[in-house]
Amino acid sequence: MSGENEKFCTVLIHYEKGVPPTSDELSKKLESKKDSIKAEALEELILLMINGEAYPKLLMTIIRFVVTCNDHRVKKLLTIYWEIVEKTKENGDLKEEMILVCNALRNDLIHANEYVCGSTLRLLCKMKYYRILEPLKEAVLRNLGHRHSYVRRNAVMCVFSIVKSFGVEVLPEAPEDIEQLLLVEGDLSTKRNAFLMLLNCDQDRAIKYVLSLQDQVSSMGDIFQLSVLELVRKVCRSTSVNKGRFLRIVFDLASSSSTAVSYDCASSLVSLSSSPVAIHQAAQAYVTLLTEQSDNNVKLIVLDRLREVQKHHKQVMEGMVMDIFRALSCPSLDVRKKVMDICLGSLVSPRNIKDVVSLLKKEVIKTLGHEANATEGNMEYRRLLIRALHACTGQYPDQAQSVMFLLMDFLTEADQTTATEVVMFLRELIANYADLRMPILQRLSECVGDVPQSRVLRGCLWLFGEFCEEESLIESVIDGILASVRPLPLIVEDAAAKEAKKDKSEEKAKAKSAKITTKTVVLADGTYGTQNVYEGGEEEQQEEDKPEVKKSAFRTLLIGGDFLLSAMLGVSLTKLSMKCKNLSTAKKNEILLLVVNLFKLVKQHNCGGEKSDSAVRLTQCIRSLVGSGAQLSESQNAAKQLLQAEWSSGTGRSQLAKVLELATQNSEWAMGQEEEVVEKSVAPEECIVFRQLRERKGGGGSGGAMEDDDDFSAARGTSIAGQAAADGALFSERLAKVQQMTGLADPVYVEAFLQVHSFDLVLELLVVNRTSDTLQNVLVELSTQGDLKLVDRPPAVTLAAGQQMTVHASIKVASTETGIIFGYVTFEKNSAADKECSVLNELHVDILDYIERSWIGELAFRTMWSEFEWENKVNINTSITEVGTFLEHIMRNTNMSIVGRSFKKGSSDKDKKKGKLSADDVKEMLKEAVGIKKLIDTSSFVAVNLYAKSIFGEDALANVSIEKLPDGKLTGSCRIRSRTQGIALSLGDRITIVQRGVQGPPGSAGKPK
């Protein structure tokens, strides 16, 4: 079909037409002598025609009675009518009435009113019928010299549209006329339109014009400058003849006050040149936009561009780190996180580390202010800054002294994550840098009593026991710990004592209110007066009130039954007392009293007992603290010596070194390391294209390269076979996802193919008429369950006997939750009075399409695990007998990766879907996880933490605990936690289905912990 016979639709307006009027009714209104009635009738006619009604007889009526009207509203409506009216007959020939329409359009083109001329020219831009445009060419070209810029602007676009649609041969004089207009034109929009036409139709003239005004481009308007940049990109990619002069223009425009021009210049410089000067200019333009624009979306886009520049031009970006850091003033956490990702890592060097650390310290101090604490996301930003300082000082220890005391103030924070980040930072400094141990441990001993978090206290106590060596430091640490838990012994108050104390305090509060008595007295002058006498009060109660000792957070946790903390305290004090040979007897006795006191608390607690882990550990400590071996049995003395040998062997430090090495490998920011850039590999048989030797015709795209590759493939005889194999693989993959919605014996057979496009689903339905009758109004009615919203419903179709047709439905997805699509199909037969109906099978949306592999650290995982409210527990019931195989199977089918291990290996598979784990990825991940691999090979019990993230930003946590029974079977459970119920249930259902390859027993329902 030729271009003129295609039906163009450029206007779409919804209209509830109800019962449409007849042609005669509309004709009477159009023939009215009142312009207002004509306008109303013409408007109604346009709306009806846009929505499918055809009124072919009214064309002549409009030509006779409406075209001659000079009312402005009627003129506006006429331009829309000419746009939508059917202009050809059924055979494709132009209707005879169009000759009269051409005459009316020509009269409008030479109309005295500039608005009528301009709007008619805009109408002709949308006309795709050359036989209508041919008699109007002269009038269009004449308007290029119109006195009004509105007409000239639209005349240029009309000429451009004609040349673009039918070729420059229909208007051979157009490029020259446009060039002459460009030289004398003063209106910026008209000049831009004229330049765009030359750019697309006669590139040589456009180049000549730009080079003639090279020094004046920077003073022209932004819309014209954007057009010049488009020409620069187009020309420089095809030829390098004038590349230097064009790049000079781009350099001049990079400092433009227009943000659009500045951004476009930076993109052009990065894509056209690899010169350090050009890249620096581009990066400078990006940084200016980053710091001056207030819109967070703009900042995020610019940061993405800077990230791309950083990957390939690290040396240039290194000097701009401090400028990029200025974007931390933005309150958006997403912007701040991206700034950190760009600046920390390969851009941090010995030359700028001091400035970076100083800036991060200032930002940390800002988060402590009153205004900052009231800001949303302040706590998360503080954690981010602490992690950044940890990463910086880990690689550059000379900067650690300037920040470690500042960060130690956060140990007393109520936020556990912040305090834990700090203690992990201090642990690394103490382990790696011996000269920093003394001041850090000394300061820790002073503030240990104020730390409210059990996990943080355990970390500090372990550091005391492992790294305190000097006797003066040991004594100081012991004094600090004992001072924080005094007075001894630690006694747990029972419920009755607490109640009695509470009642007593209430009585005291009542008694404190003094009794007031008013008396009448005789004054010195003989008159009467009143006197208030206070009886009782605070003075009488002072003797009864005893001052209560303020309890530290450390002491409160111990009395509250924290067994892990009790055991850690006992071990640390025992290690310290064994290291200090000159410790006084009184201190040793007090330590022994405290450890025995802790053992008693653990033993008497409801959840403890003599055989609990903490009680056993404290018993070992007591044995080590008591006198000589004569007081112990032979077995107890041997156990004591074994324990002391283990503590003095340095095993703890060696294991910590391995942990820190692993943490460095999987660090969020690797300082001073180059980012991995995926190298493009080209197969030996790929065709090499020399663009310089190619013949240039017109705009010359990249299609030539494809033609060369196709020719080479055909010469090798692989084109047809290779294409067939690719088509076959695509067809088999598509066929595997097709689901049958109705039975083959049903009158209408329906099968569905569900395709996922990020947040949208496209449901492709194949509808087949299985009867020998024609079925009318075949309609597939769909409904959804879950966070799915039906956007476009399938239209009703008519199917002949045996005919099949494909219809589509669009569905919007709101969250990661197992969605269900269900419905029915209705149809009518000519012989039947009522509609018939067939129910469709349910179609389940696969959650795997929304889960992407992601990485998370162990600390963040534990924090989320304790915060998330929804948990779903799925029991393991599988025929797989190998732990490693089962774990690989679960990870591959859920896209979940091992916590604490970043997997950054690039994949060479071009067709690999983004964010999906392949079998090779899973094997490589397990191979690198040496500890887990060793557990799988040697132990009958394995527990692994897994993590994934949905495309909606939802976090999914999983703990897989697997036990291998003596008979070879696997048992255990998978616990999934998330912030919302949907992803926990959906992921649990997914694991239940895939763990055996078939539908297994359903997991327990998600419920709040």
Q: How confident is the model at residue 768 (pLDDT cuts 50, 70, 90)?
A: very high
Distance in Å from the first CA to the final CA of the chain: 66
pTM over 0.75: no
Residues comprising the chain, all counted: 1009
Q: Find the range with the poorest average confidence among 233-237, 247-251, 445-449, 645-649.
A: 645-649
DSSP code of residue 377: T
- Token output for 192: 């831009």
Tell me, what's the pLDDT at 976?
92
Contacts of 442 (CB under 8 A, 6+ apart): 473, 476
pLDDT of 743 over the 60 cut: yes
Q: Find the range with the poorest average confidence among 11-15, 726-730, 786-790, 971-975.
A: 726-730
Q: Tell me how far apart the 2 most distant CA atoms of the chain are, in Å.
A: 136
Tell me, what's the pLDDT at 544?
44
Contacts of 4 (CB under 8 A, 6+ apart): 88, 92, 128, 129, 130, 131
Q: How confident is the model at residue 721 (pLDDT cuts 50, 70, 90)?
A: low
- Residue 489: asked if its preceding bond is cis (omega within 30°), the reply is yes
Tell me, what's the pLDDT at 750?
92
Please list the residues that pair with 810 across neighbouring strands. 762, 792
Q: How far, in whole angstroms, is CA 344 from its chain's centroid?
A: 20
DSSP code of residue 456: H
Buried b (16+ CB within 10 A) or exposed e, 772-784: eeebeebbbebeb
Tell me, what's the pLDDT at 913?
47
**What is the per-residue pLDDT across 492-509, written as a single tens digit (0 to 9) for each?**
766 555 555 555 555 555
Amino acid occupying residue 320: M
Percent pLDDT > 90 in the chain is 4
> Taken in order 293, 297, 301, 307, is the CA torsion positive or negative?
positive
Q: CA-CA distance, 939 to 931, in Å (whole number)?
A: 11
The DSSP code sequence of 391-402 is HHHHH-GGGTHH
Mapping DSSP to helix (H, G, I), strand (E, B) and coil, where does residue 553 land? helix
> Taken in order 226, 231, 237, 240, is the CA torsion positive or negative?
negative
